[in-house]
Amino acid sequence: MRVWTLLWTLLWTLGLLLKEVQTWSYQNGIFHNSIWLEQAAGVYHRESRKGRYQLTYKEAIAVCKYEGGALATYDQLEAARQIGFHVCSAGWFDKGRVGYPIVKAGANCGFGKIGIIDYGYRLNKSERWDVYCYNPDAKECGGVLTEPERVIQSPGFPEEYQDEQICYWHIRVKLGQRIHVRFLEFDVEDDTDCLADYLEIYDSYDDVTGFVGRFCGDYLPYDILSTGNVMTLKFLSDASVTGGGFQLLYKAVNASMVSHNKDYFN
Ligand SMILES: *[C@@H]1O[C@H](CO)[C@@H](O)[C@H](O)[C@H]1NC(C)=O
Ligand SMILES: *[C@@H]1O[C@H](CO)[C@@H](O)[C@H](O)[C@H]1NC(C)=O
Ligand SMILES: [Ca+2]
C-alpha cells in the first residue's frame, strides 16, 4: 500500500516537472506559431480571417497591402528566421513562392529540417495558403513581455494610433501565475464586426489558439483573466480612420490566490 502511495507521489512530481519544462521551453519565443518579432525583422505571418490556408496568391498580396506592407522576399523571411521567427504554416511570399520558416527541427513540422521549407514557385496561383508579409514602416510596438506588471498602449499613445499598424504582445509570466488584464482607456475605430481596426486577445502564446475576443469601439472591455501564464494581444489598424487608442494594465497573479471576488488592482 505504502509503495503505491510513494510511486504515485513520484509520478505526480515527475508529471509536474515535465509540465514545467514544457512551459519554459517557450523561452525566446521560438517554439510556437506566429511569434511576433516585428522590431527585428518586419516579417509577419497572416492567415485569412476564414482560417488557415484560404488565400490565393492574389488575395495574399491584398492582405499584405491592406496592412501597409508587401509580400516578404525569401531573404526577408530568412533574416526573420535567423532571429527566431518560427511558423508551422506554409504561406505565399514574394513572386508566388510558398514555404515557411523553421528554427527548431520537429517531427510534426518541416520534415525535421531547419531553414525555409520551400515549396517553390507555384504554377497554380489559385492554390490556397497563408501569407508572409513584410512591413518595415509599422511603428515599433509589441514584443515579448515578461515583467509581472506592465502597461500596454497602442502605438503612439496618448496620440491617436496611425493607419496600417500591426502589433503583437506576447506576455509570459512565471509558471503558476495567471495574467489579469484591466482596460484603462479604449477608443478604436468602431465597426460592427470589428473588421477595420481591432484589438484581439488570446489565452495562449500565439494568435492561433485560445481566442478570447476581438474589441473595437469605445466601450471599455471587461477585465480578463488568463487560464495559464501566457497571453497574446494583437492590435491591427486598416488603411483609413483611426481613434484615440487604448491603454491597459496587466498584472501577474498567483494562481492559488485567484478568487472571483478579489480585486488584484487595489
Ligand atoms: C489550381 O488550384 C486550385 C485550388 O487548389 C484547383 O481548384 C484548380 O483545379 C487548380 N488548377 C489547375 C490547373 O491545376
Ligand atoms: C506569489 O508566489 C510567490 C512564490 O510562490 C511568492 O514569493 C509571492 O509572495 C506570491 N505573491 C503573492 C501576492 O501572494
Ligand atoms: Ca481604421
Closest CA to 188 of 211, 169, 214, 208: 214
Same domain, 55 and 130: yes
20 part of a folded domain:
no
Whole-prediction pTM value?
Answer: 0.58
pLDDT at 45: 85
Are 38 and 115 within one domain?
Answer: yes
Is residue 216 a contact partner of residue 190, using CB atoms and an 8 Å limit? yes
User: Domain check: are 118 and 201 in the same one?
Assistant: no
Best residue for ligand 2 mutational test, from 20, 149, 253, 254 (most atoms within 8 Å of Cβ):
254
Domains held by the chain: number: 2
Question: Could you tell me if residue 266 is inside a domain?
Answer: no
Tell whether 25 is covered by a domain: no
CA-CA distance, 92 to 237, in Å (whole number)? 22
Residue owning the nearest CA to atom 4 of ligand 2: 254
Instruction: Give residue 171 CA to ligand 3 midpoint distance, Å.
Output: 25
Q: Pick from 78, 102, 134: which residue ends a domain? A: 134
The C-alpha cell at 249 is 494594465
CATH code of the domain in which 148 resides = 2.60.120.290
8 part of a folded domain:
no
**What is the secondary structure of 64-75 as a DSSP string?**
HHHTT-EEPPHH
Residues 124 and 219 both lie in one domain? no
Report yes or no on 224 lying in a domain.
yes
On whether both 53 and 98 belong to a single domain, the answer is: yes
205 vs 203: CA distance, rounded Å: 7
Sequential pLDDT tens for the chain (266 residues):
444 444 444 444 434 333 333 333 333 333 333 445 445 578 888 877 677 899 999 999 988 887 678 999 999 999 989 888 888 899 999 999 999 999 888 778 888 899 999 999 999 999 999 999 998 766 667 877 899 999 999 999 999 999 878 888 989 999 999 999 999 999 999 998 898 999 999 998 877 788 999 999 999 999 999 999 999 999 988 889 999 999 999 999 998 877 655 666 65
**What CATH number does residue 61 fall under?**
3.10.100.10
Same domain, 76 and 169: no
Query: What DSSP character marks residue 222?
Result: P
Tell me which of 134, 160, 188 is where a domain ends: 134
Same domain, 116 and 175: no
pLDDT of residue 105: 83
Same domain? For 176 and 227 the reply is yes
The confidence score (pLDDT) of residue 20 equals 34
Q: Which domain covers residue 43, as residue numbers?
A: 34-134
Structural domain includes residue 124: yes
Do 108 and 147 belong together in one domain?
A: no
85 in Cβ contact with 35 (< 8 Å): yes
Compute the distance from residue 89 Cα to the ligand 1 centre, in Å.
Answer: 20
| Judgement on whether residues 45 and 86 belong to the same structural domain of the protein | yes
| d(C-alpha 159, C-alpha 175), whole Å | 35
Q: Are residues 126 and 156 in the same domain?
A: no
User: 121 and 177 share a domain?
Assistant: no
Q: Which residues surround ligand 3, an ion (CB under 5 A)?
A: 189, 196-197, 237-238, 241
Ligand nearest to the CA of 239: 3
User: Within a domain: residue 63?
Assistant: yes
Please identify, among 108, 134, 160, the residue that sits at the C-terminal boundary of a domain: 134
Q: CA distances (Å), 186 to each of 6, 7, 86, 125, 168, in order?
A: 53, 53, 32, 40, 17
Query: Is 169 inside any structural domain?
Result: yes
The C-alpha cell that represents 156 in the structure block: 503612439
Pocket of ligand 2 from Cβ distances under 6 Å: 254, 257
